[in-house]
């Protein structure tokens, strides 16, 4: 369940809350303990024993990163910067995103 605060924060970053991964993983040092990891490929991750605290750690990490660019970071076949708008929550436009993921 996504709270209104989480949704608004993700919108302020220019990403969809669906692009943020929330997973429960094994604690790195304690046996039989679990931690939550909230992460995004561009904005980093936050880990904590409670999901609420993991979101807080993610908020702190994301605030320290630079915002997503307003233009595609790809280069045209002629060597000039691409002038297209990137896909939501990504660094590249559609054609360049397909090439970057290969």
pLDDT at 56: 95
pLDDT at 83: 87
Q: Which residues of the chain have pLDDT under 70?
A: 102
pLDDT at 87: 83
Q: Of 91, 100, 39, 95, give the one whose Cα is nearest residue 67.
A: 91
- CA-CA-CA-CA torsion for 93, 5, 61, 67, nearest 10 degrees? 30
pLDDT at 102: 66
Rounded to two decimals, what is the model's pTM? 0.72
Q: Per-residue pLDDT tens for 30-51?
A: 888 999 999 998 899 999 999 9
């Amino acid at each position: 369940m996504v709270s209104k605060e989480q949704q608004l924060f993700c919108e302020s970053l220019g990403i969809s809350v669906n692009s943020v991964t929330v997973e429960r993983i094994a604690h790195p040092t304690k046996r039989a303990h679990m931690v939550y990891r909230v992460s995004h490929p561009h904005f980093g991750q936050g880990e904590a024993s409670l999901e609420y605290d993991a979101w807080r750690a993610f908020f702190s990490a994301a605030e320290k990163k630079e915002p997503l660019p307003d233009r595609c970071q790809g280069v045209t076949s002629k060597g000039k910067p691409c002038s297209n708008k990137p896909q939501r929550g990504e660094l590249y436009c559609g054609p360049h995103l397909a090439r970057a993921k290969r």
